[in-house]
Amino acid sequence: MSYNQDKIDYREFLIWKRLRNISFTIFVGSGKGGVGKSLIATTMGLILTGNSFRVGLLDLDMHGPSSLMILDIKQLPKEEKNGLVPPSINNLKVMSIGFFAKDSPLPLSGMAKREIIKELLAITDFGTLDYLIIDLPPGTGDESLAAINYIKNNRGVILVSTPSRLAQQVVKRAAIFFIDMNVKIIGLIENMVLDNDFGGTYNLARELNVPFLGYIPYDKRVAYISEINPKELTKTTFAEALQNALKKANIIH
Ligand code: ADP
């Protein structure tokens, strides 16, 4: 008689055990790369720790894991008895696929990507958290599917768009994917608005019957990830607008 190895995968039990210590998981996604998703996920983490929440950030963006660069994290996760303990900055615990990928892109099959996500969720010891923010890769590929699959008990997804019509089209596709997967859309954000020249994200939110959380202006202070000062990040116009979006989503008050 053969047995199905998946059924006895200890990592799934570990993931379940670890997730029990996390009150809310929020995904941050987009249809398309380059819309500011990672900057929003990272800054959101810092805003929440600034509001005295215990917060972790899990960067699953295999195509461009940028949270480590945004936060200027040089420390590696520490191997301890209960797993890998992520380094923190301003109390934000950060685990990223970038710790393992370094500068090289990851040419992986869908199956391998799912395995990596399972492994990361199983080995990372975030401890007890109020919020775990997950920076998803753009689009609706295997990584997004795997993350949703392992974290069924999530609070939902924040989707990031820009004033560009193309960005809205791909965000619309992503939104339909999340709705199909039974993931609640917490709301849509339109990022990188120049000179109050708003795009159609508000109308898209109405069309999809999901909340619109607001506009975030293009802010020169955050335009280049390698030049961002993580200590100043929450004091920017960008962060102020994001804070308003989080209030609208009832994540902070
Ligand atoms: P994604 O995760 O969607 O690929 P990133 O968060 O990596 O996008 O952002 C892409 C680039 O845009 C980065 O250089 C980032 O600093 C910049 N950026 C994001 N949002 C803004 C904004 N509101 N104003 C100016 N630059 C921004």
Distance 222 CA to ligand 1 centre (A): 7
The answer as to whether 3 is a domain residue is no
The answer as to whether 78 is a domain residue is yes
Minimum-distance ligand 1 atom for the alpha carbon of 160: 3
Looking at residue 28, its pLDDT comes to 97
Average pLDDT, the chain: 93
Residue 90: phi and psi, rounded to 5, are 50, 40
pLDDT over threshold 80, residue 198: yes
Minimum-distance ligand 1 atom for the alpha carbon of 35: 3
The answer as to whether 117 is a domain residue is yes
pLDDT over threshold 80, residue 102: no
Cβ burial 17-37 (10 Å sphere, 16+ → b, else e): ebbeebebbbbbbbbbeebbb
| Residue 104 pLDDT grade (very low, low, confident, very high; cuts 50, 70, 90) | low
pLDDT over threshold 90, residue 56: yes
Nearest to 113 by CA among 63, 179, 39, 174: 63
> 181: domain range?
10-248
Distance 224 CA to ligand 1 centre (A): 7
Kindly state the average pLDDT of the residues 216-241.
Answer: 95
pTM: 0.95
The answer as to whether 70 is a domain residue is yes
Looking at residue 2, its pLDDT comes to 45
Report the percent of the chain where pLDDT is more than 90: 81
Question: Two tokens at 173?
Answer: 């596709």
The answer as to whether 4 is a domain residue is no
Mutating to test ligand 1, I would choose from 39, 42, 192 the residue with most ligand atoms within 8 A of its C-beta, which is: 39
pLDDT over threshold 90, residue 61: no
The answer as to whether 37 is a domain residue is yes
Minimum-distance ligand 1 atom for the alpha carbon of 135: 2
pLDDT 10s digits, 129-138: 999 999 998 8
pLDDT over threshold 70, residue 1: no
Q: Which residues line ligand 1 (CB under 6 A)?
A: 30, 33-39, 64, 66, 191-192, 216, 218-219, 222-225, 238
Nearest to 144 by CA among 30, 9, 11: 30
Distance in angstroms (rounded) separating the CA atoms of residues 36 and 242: 11
Domain count, the chain: 1
Looking at residue 65, its pLDDT comes to 82
User: Does 37 or 113 have the greater pLDDT score?
Assistant: 37
| Residue 3 pLDDT grade (very low, low, confident, very high; cuts 50, 70, 90) | very low
The answer as to whether 2 is a domain residue is no
The answer as to whether 209 is a domain residue is yes
CATH number, domain of 175, equals: 3.40.50.300
